[in-house]
Amino acid sequence: MTTFETFKRDIERAPAAGWKRLGRWLRRQLPTGLYARSLLIIIIPMVLLQSVVAFVFMERHWQLVTQRLSTAVTRDIAAIIDLIDTYPQDANHSEIVRIARERLELNVAIEPGTELPAPRTKPFFNILDEILSEEIVRQIRRPFWIDTVGESNLVEIRILLDNKILRVYARRNQAYASNTHIFLLWMVGTSLVLITISILFLRGQIRPILTLAQAAESFGKGQKMPEDFAPRGADEVRRAGLAFILMRERIERQMEQRTAMLTGVSHDLRTILTRFKLQLALAGDNPDLQGLHKDVADMQTMLEGYLSFARGDVEEDVGQLRLSDLFDKFAMEAELHERAFSSEVDGEDDVMVRPNAFSRLVGNLVSNSMRYAKTVHVEARHRAKWLTIIVDDDGPGIPERSRDDVFKPFFRLDEARNLDASGTGLGLAIARDIARSHGGNVTLSDSPMGGLRATIRIPA
């Protein structure tokens, strides 16, 4: 059963649902791009309009002119037959032949015979054959045979008289509106010219929208915008481009202000921590101060982690990173920690990312797996549109209800997979922040290895 038959059956059973399904199918078949849809908006009405005009022209003008011409030719032939019947004394009918040739522009011949040739196959589309036959039947009412097929400019008509056959040769344009194709050629030619102009105009209007989309996509991935980007095109597109530039400037100013503020906070807090360390050093090796030493070290680690999370490496430019080299570093780290590590790369090995930030993104997830699992496997799938990196381990995993919470800053699990004393509660938060700055995301799920699966998915 074809798709159309399925839609027809659904419409008969449930009209509303069937029409909705047909509408969804049509939307899937239509192009999704603005450029292609705009062309369809222009071309489809033009084609429909010209189809209607051509049909009306064919039905009214072409057929009407052909019918009148065929009527006139048939009337002349009927007059010739009347002359033959009226003046039988002219055995050779030379005068009738002369009158037909000079006055009616018809070449006629009168031959003996009582049988006409077998009817020829009628053409698939030829109104001359149909109209001329109708006129001969209506005016002459005698057996006839016509030949309107072929490349010849002549139309042959044979009329069976009492004991002879009248052969008439008429020019095709005497019985048929043969120059009608000029109208169709003009119609098609002007349509092609208009479509070409529309395509050129639309390209100029769509290009600023595509440029704006590329700039927004680059900004969403943390990349620099094209240097020559400027609002162009129609007023609405210009306003959208200007709004995007202002939004980007506001976001960059906020990020710069946040970074500057955190740099100042870092300087002040580090100064205080340095005083603490100096005072502790002057106090000597006092066992009672061991806890204070540990607190100062933890504060230093938490401060560095928080600053790194808030900064997000936004100042780094996009560059090339080789995944296999990155995975080799993880393999060496796993060997030092006595962990089993394996990796594979499916697709192109080189990716365009912010190298340091992306290395930290994958490194945080791999380090988190190595902390709680004995075996870690990393798989990279580089496709045309998306880069997907999957980190699997055989550790205790994370409960499903807590998988969104672990990405919150300073969130700590009370279960098996908790951060140790050296952790700051920012590893996964930093990972998701970096992934989103690349235009992607990080998600957690169950691993086939029995532990946790972390999936990084960013635009390639």
Sequence-distant (6+) residues with CB within 8 A of 419 are 412, 413, 425, 427
For 201-223, the pLDDT digits (tens) are 888 888 888 888 888 877 776 66
Q: Identify the pLDDT of residue 151.
A: 58
Q: Could you give the angle at which helices 127-139 and 63-86 cross, rounded to 10 degrees?
A: 40
Distance CA 174, CA 318 (A): 77
Q: Identify the pLDDT of residue 417.
A: 46
Contact 85, 147 (CB under 8 A): no
3-state secondary structure 84-150: HHHCCCCCCCHHHHHHHHHCCCCEEEEEECCCCCCCCCCCCCCHHHHHHHHHHHHHCCCCEEEECCC
Distance CA 28, CA 70 (A): 51
DSSP 33: S
Q: Identify the pLDDT of residue 85.
A: 82
Residue 194: CA count within 13 A, CB half-sphere: 13
Tokens of 361: 């993104």
DSSP 439: T
| Position 418 pLDDT exceeds 60 | no
Q: Identify the pLDDT of residue 457.
A: 92
Q: Identify the pLDDT of residue 125.
A: 56
Strand (E) or helix (H) holding 210: helix 181-220
Tokens 């990196």 -> residue: 389
Q: What is the pTM of this model?
A: 0.51
For 306-344, the pLDDT digits (tens) are 666 555 555 567 788 899 999 999 999 888 888 899 999
Distance CA 155, CA 147 (A): 6
Distance CA 98, CA 95 (A): 5
Q: Identify the pLDDT of residue 389.
A: 93
| Position 74 pLDDT exceeds 80 | yes
More confident residue, 392 or 178: 392
For 158-208, the pLDDT digits (tens) are 888 888 888 888 887 787 776 666 777 888 888 888 888 888 888 888 888
* 372 — pLDDT class (breaks 50, 70, 90): confident
* 8 — pLDDT class (breaks 50, 70, 90): low
Mean residue pLDDT of the chain comes to: 79
Q: Identify the pLDDT of residue 341.
A: 92
| Position 422 pLDDT exceeds 50 | no
Rounded average pLDDT over 259-287: 76
**Helix, strand, coil percentages in the chain from 3-state DSSP, rounded to 5:** 60, 15, 25
Residue 186: CA count within 13 A, CB half-sphere: 6
Rounded average pLDDT over 428-456: 87
Q: Is 120 left (phi over 0), alpha (psi -120 to 50) or beta?
A: beta
Q: Identify the pLDDT of residue 393.
A: 92
Distance CA 131, CA 140 (A): 14
Sequence-distant (6+) residues with CB within 8 A of 366 are 330, 333, 376, 378, 391
CA angle, residues 160, 163, 168, in degrees to nearest 5: 40
Q: Identify the pLDDT of residue 377.
A: 94
Rounded average pLDDT over 61-72: 82
Tokens 């797996």 -> residue: 369
Q: Identify the pLDDT of residue 410.
A: 66
- In terms of residues, how long is the chain? 460
Residue 383, CA distances (Å) to 244, 345, 388, 389, 390 in order: 29, 11, 8, 11, 14
| Position 421 pLDDT exceeds 50 | no
Closest by CA to 125, choosing from 47, 62, 53, is: 62
DSSP output for 401-417: GGTTGGGSTT---SSSS
Rounded average pLDDT over 224-247: 81
What is the phi/psi pair of residue 31, to 5°? -65, 155
Q: Identify the pLDDT of residue 380.
A: 92
Highest mean pLDDT out of 27-41, 155-169, 175-189, 272-286: 155-169
Sequence-distant (6+) residues with CB within 8 A of 91 are none
Rounded average pLDDT over 143-164: 80
Rounded average pLDDT over 268-283: 79
Query: Considering the chain, what percentage of its residues have pLDDT values greater than 90?
Result: 8
Q: Identify the pLDDT of residue 274.
A: 81
Query: Considering the chain, what percentage of its residues have pLDDT values greater than 70?
Result: 82
Strand (E) or helix (H) holding 157: strand 154-160
Rounded average pLDDT over 48-77: 81
| Position 235 pLDDT exceeds 70 | yes
* 263 — pLDDT class (breaks 50, 70, 90): confident
| Position 96 pLDDT exceeds 60 | yes
- Per DSSP, the three-state class of 315 is coil
Highest mean pLDDT out of 228-237, 258-267, 356-365, 419-428: 356-365
Closest by CA to 343, choosing from 357, 353, 328, is: 328
Q: Identify the pLDDT of residue 376.
A: 92
DSSP strand pairing (340-347 vs 375-382): parallel
